[in-house]
Structure 1
């Protein structure tokens, strides 16, 4: 079983939320997303009573954080020589930003549960069996895509892993609220997800098992038998 030290990693969602904490930047963001079309620097500056340079700085910061998309258009409607340079315009980004402390991954759980219901309805295979298979397939995919130490991967997905003797306990369950109300279903899904992760990173020295207890996730990683 390999051991990794915790590393500080820049979280893009946290950075994006932090960017909106600046009042002028937040006003600009709110203005742009309320418009039906793209907004130029001049239009944004005039609407909020800002200097063009100030508006440009904050709009570009929002674009750097992927909160706004940048497009280039000729507002005159003309093309060809003499039509002028395309204007730099801003519009709402398609990116979704979500920050939860502790880390929660309800969208991932919802996607797996929806896939299981749909495939079960189409094939007649029991929903729980499909859910376990889909969870393990997703875990394997995550492991293969992130070929890294299991401890680091668990940190990245919000499990808050901790070493306890020769095992790894998970201090946080990313599906906490669901697991409290639907324990058997969600913990079983989580177990197969983490089994898939271990398979995906080709970690044979550790196995995932159910070990529910207060204050931590229902799954525990321990030396393989």
Structure 2
């Protein structure tokens, strides 16, 4: 099974589903022909990686066959929920703790070893890592530019927990990605963001190349007053442009 990308993706989707899915639903999600999906499901069933369930028919006809992933780690979802609840009530602190935990986890992963010397190499590393972790990643060339790359995560082993604890689950995943990228040589100019649930079953990783920071503090003028930038050397855009308001971001990002 490990050498079959379609079967790995089907298994990842079933692991993230809250209820059994039939072949037609899986064909709709993956874009594969339903006959091809049934073939892969038969293989996964024979390998005891998925289990079949009889489901009521839609209207008239024979009962449908639903498929659910066999859970190898008993109580893993419940354990993850308990651990998430132990991080305290403050969402920002929970997120920071989760990212730190993800970095620790990422440092222990026997993950891809490929020098990150540019945006394309970084994208390949993230796609490979996400595939190994069960996220069924897809490249999104339509959103790529010279300074940005997008990776679509179409599955998640902890999707249901992420719906209620996204700052924890997605924070851990973000920490893993950042740690593996840095371990492969990514520099600080590479910014990594994770946008959870841009669609009900889709998350997006955004890789951005940023200009090098000037270590010399920048002095700017706004509203006839001299403003000295913080130690990072950047003047906020709203001050450079003399604007008082900044457009609110429409999606959550870390």
TM-score, normalised to structure 2, is 0.39
Higher strand share goes to which structure? 2
Which TM-score applies when normalising by structure 1? 0.43
Structure with larger Rg: 1
- Name the structure where helix makes up a greater proportion of residues: 1
